[in-house]
Structure 1
């Protein structure tokens, strides 16, 4: 915080900057993970889909939203905020682990404050993907839309703390990108829209190329530390088991193999970018294997149910289908790997984030 808030850029902005920095000091939390000496992460800036969206879809004209009960029942005050979870999502937990703040607000939140801008916001939109068609089909913010809002955010930061400090925040913050699963699960397999035009090798090429372009643009705008999450084992999501797993609702191997193929291409793209973009730390985060292990061995992690979600029957309910009228919603979501038919519970996210951040954090410094 001392580097961020020393020597105001001009007399006219000094009072505002001082006020914001004092507030930011009190808003920070104690880091749970140890950073290398003399290193700092002033903010966390998030892009992607429903795994990390903290409420950007709330006021969009889309069915892909969840700002109603029982979503958020275990969040602060039991309030549904637009997070596809019973509680916190990975964006919040990463900020918590890094000691930045307790939760990451949506950039579209009308109550967003200057302190929030300093310590990071979320641009993610549930239902988006690397394929531009994915967000179009869902009527949500595409990655291009999210990037435009990020540019607006940069302009606001410059007005708030000046260009030098803005550049410092961008260079030292960790950018988190979590998307791709909706491209495969929804656009390709469920809706079959792109299946008419591409086979899986060609479609995963499209996704990986789009991802690479996005990261290059982020880098061009000042991002240096970028955490890129892999696609999940989509064939083992409760909804996909129901739709394509047969009468026994088994994991759908073809879907998982598609995710594995994309992840290999994504990882290769990131390696290439890291080698060509100076001073960049673009890190591939393998979520596929640890999440699959939780699903296949739930009792090892303290779970009882891994093949369906807590909300309703847990087999198809998600978004508007998971609501306060949903029958048979479970009474103890801590025993479930999944909250609804597509998204994990906060407990699952905590299990994942805690191990992932300790495995990968040193790669950003």
Structure 2
């Protein structure tokens, strides 16, 4: 680091984790450049849920209240069978009371826009694929190259996704992501004159989720246990074949969708944890560090946590690894177990699963919510949090 100059960070990847890290490091006085391979940071059309753990982290960078205004509350629907029988009822108020805030759903683009608004102009360079040339070390900076420049940095933040090139450079012997056993479809559309509550439906080896967004559109997703690599000529037709006879509003949503509205991707995760989340002057965060199945809806939430914890430990990268590696390993394993339960295709296991959900519902929401205490109850190391400070100022 040059005498008298601010420390410089280069963030590889302009997704949610990378942008949050950029905003968090800027608040710590760093000079930050974000390199995004794509020509735009506008994410492909899908939504994500944010739980109180991530919202507390967003409070640290001054974005929590803005995101709360953009999101729609989740909950109140529960889980049904394909024929519509209710297995489990959720209560949004019970979750909010237990965890100190609501679960929210918003479009990824809305979150990205809110994060970019925290950054100075020209912080993000799109159309800039980056290669880690040197991870750096004591006494020497890290180096990142793009097609038209070489950048030196006191810190490189690798937020370049599940197929991270930086991760492969740092840990070439790691096996990388593996197929979870299921593929997923997503769509965000208008569904006129159809009432769509927030709920999931669990079948044999398949699920469907429906959640209204605050802007009136509906976010739906589906998953099915199939061999990797499969694609249909018309994915909407494939969804109709698999889910068209499920309870309403599933067929109504499919009737309103166009083939081009449907996105499909196989779901992968990092089954083997990395030995560390840092090497030299480089750190990994988000899917580059701990890609997980989406069944706990924690992928984006954990990336946001990573970012604010990194900013807290920005001068002590081993401390960042120590804080994040055990936690994200645990959350990933829980997400894998949740995927196996919800997407089991064995008829006996399905019957046992459904009976267990009915019993849990009868016992009340507290029993199920207790299992999420360790995930959603997390708080960032920075204090006071924005919301708590506001409350203290009013006293």
Q: Which has a greater percent of strand? A: 2
Bigger Cα Rg? 2
Which structure ranks higher in relative contact order (CA pairs < 8 Å, sequence separation ≥ 6)? 2
On whether the aligned pair clears a TM of 0.5, the verdict is no
Q: Which has a greater percent of helix? A: 1
TM tier relative to shorter chain: under 0.3
Question: TM-score of the superposition, structure 2-length normalised?
Answer: 0.25
Question: TM-score of the superposition, structure 1-length normalised?
Answer: 0.27
